[in-house]
Copies of this chain bind each other. A is one copy, B any other.
Amino acid sequence: MRTSRLEAFSDGVLAIIITIMVLELKVPEDHDLAGLLHTTGVGLLTYLLSFVYVGIYWNNHHHMFHLVRQVSGGVLWANLALLFCLSLFPFTTAWMDESRFEPTPVVMYGLNLLAAAITYFGLQTVIIRQQGPESPLRQAVGSDLKGKISPAFYLAGILSALAIDRSGRIGVWIALACFVGTAIMWIIPDRRIDRVVRQHGTAD
Interface positions of A (Cβ within 8 A of B):
1-2, 5-9, 11-20, 22-23, 25, 27-28, 31-33, 35-36, 40, 48, 51-52, 55, 58-59, 62-63, 66, 72-74, 76-77, 80, 83-84, 87-88, 90-91, 94-95, 98-99, 102, 104-105, 108, 187-191, 194, 197, 202, 204
8 Å CB contact of A15 from B9, B51, B73, B194 = B9
Tally of this chain's copies: 4
Judging by beta carbons under 8 Å apart, are B18 and A13 in contact?
yes
Judging by beta carbons under 8 Å apart, are B22 and A19 in contact?
no
Judging by beta carbons under 8 Å apart, are B91 and A25 in contact?
yes
Q: A11-B8, A12-B11, A27-B95 are in contact. Are A77 and B187 (CB under 8 A)?
A: yes
8 Å CB contact of A14 from B9, B36, B74, B197 = B9
- How distant is A159 from chain B, measured CB to nearest CB, in Å? 16
Q: Which residue of B lies closest to A202 (CB)?
A: B2
